[in-house]
Structure 1
Amino acid sequence: MLRNRALGAATVAILKATQDGHRFGLDMMEATDLPSGTVYPTLARMEARAYVESEWEGVRDAKAAGRPRRRYYRVTAEGARALSEALERLGVLAGAPPRAATQG
């Protein structure tokens, strides 16, 4: 079932927030109620594992908005698979039937 080692709660929360459209660090902090000391190191680890990819916002866009540049993240196919497996595992641990048993 799990091709990757089990993901921690912070990783699952941040991957889910990113997949749901929260694309930069501060936005993820607000969506997950996790501190910057958790969000940014977790993002770095997820990027190293190819669960997310990042790209810096253009200087002009940030300057026009009157703020520092943002680093935008998006979930990769590998990250989406890892998140799906983690959510399924969490459901099983919580007593929900596995998805395969509820389909069909």
Structure 2
Amino acid sequence: WASGKIKMRLAQRKILDCHAFAKEIEDKEDIAICHSIGQACAVVHTAGHAIGYPIYDLTAIIYKYGIEHCKSAVEQRKLEYIEKVIYWNEHLCDYQGTWADFMLK
């Protein structure tokens, strides 16, 4: 979708399928991961979905380790987010992929 290889409706259907699948499973960590994937992919549709990815991603970590033992893993993930933002802020011009026309506006 972001690269212009598939249409928005197909991508949107797959994103909604991620969220729907989360309702079919019982493991809370896996449910959060499904929602994080859906939110991350939906960022192309609207930037408001950007906050959903880290919220669900961090929720999955909390479910994995438990609230009492997750601090280190959550802090590590936070550092990974920061490193990626800094990297792409400095290297966006190096990206070799393609973008759909609507992404370049």
Bigger share in strand: 1
TM-score (norm: length of structure 1)? 0.27
TM-score (norm: length of structure 2)? 0.27
Bigger share in helix: 2
